Amino acid sequence: MVALATALALGACTSPDAERRSDQPERAKATGEADELTVVDLDNVPDVTEEKKETEENGVTASLSYPKVPNADPLAKRLDEITDRERDDFLGAVPKAESIKIGWNLSVAGDDVMAVRLTQDEKDDEGERTAWATYWYDTATGTTAYSTELLAGQQELETLDGLVKKALKENDGDKVDTSHLYPILRSYDSMGFNPDGDLVVEFDEGQVAPVKSGRVSAVVAKADVEPLLSDFGRKAQTAAVVVTPDYRIEEEPAAPKDGSKAGVPGVFATRDDDVDCSDPESKCIALTFDDGPGERTPELLDTLAKYDAKATFFLTGGPVREHAATVRREYAEGHELANHTVHHPDLTRQAEVRIRAELSTVNDLVRRETGFDLELMRPPYGATDDKVAKIAKEQGLAEIIWSVDTNDWKDRDSSVVAKRAVKGAKPGSIILMHDIHGTTIDAVPSILKQLDEKGYRMVTVSQLLGDTEPGESYFNGHPEEKKDDTDGKDDGTSASSDEKSDKKDDKKDDKD
Ligand code: NI
């Protein structure tokens, strides 16, 4: 009786949705495995074609493909960019790359929603590895979306992260290690629905389990995930669970929009617009840590979290490869990631081609781990010149020097390091430390406690400086001295005289 009454009530409803449904024939339920994203039979998408790109560069072959459907140009454009980017990042970040192949299938093609799932096979001297990423598209608005945009916001992604960890532990507890999984874009880049409308989250080989364990997925029940979905996510879920025969897009969207990363769940801003560091009252300070991550950087992150302090990490290549999980955690906890070259050379003594590679490789490595595009670099030893500045500019990187040098690499004494950091601190300071030294890690609790008591706000460099110009050098963000700094910036190499002498020592002794 109750069911009948409900059905009658629905029948009487004259909402546009109900009308549309009554016009259309009943659609068949999508088929597929419970732990897989739905797959669209291409017979139902008669106009789909495949774009193919084959390249060979330094002996590395790339074979990239993606689908093209009439009247979905913004999607094709986005997939073209994404596949190029993935190839370039692979070539840049993996030292002994052999080949990369990107193939595709459609996970959803119905109503106003399309989903393209890319399968990326990478081969290097250590073996083969497969990764997946699923991109979404709203055919009505011309908007492309990351998988995390199926969710309403960052809070929802964090809740999902908890549910996924629980599900993985229950099902694959032996082989899966989720302790290094964070709610960031790059870790949640392949999500969709199974035929029942449950959310399927899939992880690349090697991401949460050894590569040999293959693909790992978590299924979050429809009822659990529904409260977490965005409006688009609900639309996507509805379209995913049915088969749409003879799928066509009637016309191009009127005003195609570029997918922006701002506000995307799993993407973190390097600054909070509510804080104005150009106001001396804000008492902003940027703590910066170079040459890492190190073994004890997770401890440092715990300490920063305790004081709600943000920092900037100038990363070098080897440590990023060795401690990739720490890099993801730094990003997930709202710290700023920045570039400190692969091998830490004095860039002013390198050929342009080497400078380019030293910087771009770290950009590529960090993007592959986090999805974040670096905006800042610090030349090793603070050594820069017009040539370095030109290349930094090409790569969209501002050069960040420092105003307070703790000399923590030289004096491995945590009380000395703490004293120098606190004594040198004033609003707008950029404080130089290295998170590869245990004595520095030990100094930070005292530094944070004292700066906190003095009313300082520990912020990222981008928060401190506001908009920075790629290729320009910045030494501090002192609110009252901003004009003077601009005057002194021109010769590019100038730090204050005592900073210069520090740099000389740094060159001589810093073994990193
Ligand atoms: Ni360094």
Mean pLDDT of the 127-135 span = 97
pLDDT confidence of 300, banded at 50, 70, 90? very high
Answer whether residue 25 shows pLDDT above 90. no
Predicted local confidence at residue 87, as pLDDT: 97
How many helices (H) and strands (E) would you count in the chain?
Answer: 16, 18
Among 133, 106, 119, 139, which residue's Cα sits nearest to residue 232? 139
pLDDT in tens, 235-265: 999 999 999 999 999 998 887 666 677 789 9
290 Cα to the center of ligand 1, angstroms = 5
Predicted local confidence at residue 481, as pLDDT: 55
The answer to whether 263 touches 254, Cβ cutoff 8 Å, is no
Average predicted confidence (pLDDT) for the chain: 90
319 Cα to the center of ligand 1, angstroms = 12
pLDDT confidence of 331, banded at 50, 70, 90? very high
The answer to whether 382 touches 341, Cβ cutoff 8 Å, is no
340 Cα to the center of ligand 1, angstroms = 7
Predicted local confidence at residue 23, as pLDDT: 56
Q: In the numeric block, which tokens belong to residue 126? A: 């250590």
pLDDT confidence of 8, banded at 50, 70, 90? very low
* 464-to-282, 382, 428 alpha-carbon distances in Å: 10, 19, 7
The answer to whether 80 touches 51, Cβ cutoff 8 Å, is yes
Predicted local confidence at residue 9, as pLDDT: 39
Q: How far apart are CA 130 and CA 377, in angstroms?
A: 31
* 41-to-46, 107, 197, 224 alpha-carbon distances in Å: 10, 9, 18, 28
Mean pLDDT of the 326-350 span = 98
Mean pLDDT of the 271-286 span = 94
289 Cα to the center of ligand 1, angstroms = 9
Least confident of 142-146, 355-359, 493-497: 493-497
380 Cα to the center of ligand 1, angstroms = 5
Predicted local confidence at residue 58, as pLDDT: 87
pLDDT in tens, 440-496: 999 999 999 999 999 999 999 999 999 999 999 999 999 975 444 444 443 334 344
Predicted local confidence at residue 310, as pLDDT: 98
Answer whether residue 2 shows pLDDT above 70. no
* Residue 215 CA neighbour count, 13 Å, CB half: 16
% of the chain exceeding 70 in pLDDT: 88
Predicted local confidence at residue 86, as pLDDT: 98
Answer whether residue 510 shows pLDDT above 50. no
158 Cα to the center of ligand 1, angstroms = 34
Residue identified by tokens 């923590």 is 408
Predicted local confidence at residue 501, as pLDDT: 37
Mean pLDDT of the 73-89 span = 97
307 Cα to the center of ligand 1, angstroms = 25
Mean pLDDT of the 196-200 span = 98
Among 335, 283, 290, which residue's Cα sits nearest to residue 317? 290
What are the residue numbers of the active site? 290, 434
Angle at CA of residue 107, ends 239 and 364, nearest 5°: 125
Q: In the numeric block, which tokens belong to residue 185? A: 């874009």
Predicted local confidence at residue 309, as pLDDT: 98
Q: What is the DSSP string of 195-254?
A: TTS-EEEEE-TTTSS-GGG--EEEEE-HHHHGGGB-HHHHHHHHHHTB--TT----S--S
Q: How far apart are CA 467 and CA 76, in angstroms?
A: 32
Answer whether residue 6 shows pLDDT above 50. no
The answer to whether 241 touches 157, Cβ cutoff 8 Å, is no
* 457-to-42, 309, 460 alpha-carbon distances in Å: 55, 7, 10
503 Cα to the center of ligand 1, angstroms = 10
Predicted local confidence at residue 4, as pLDDT: 40
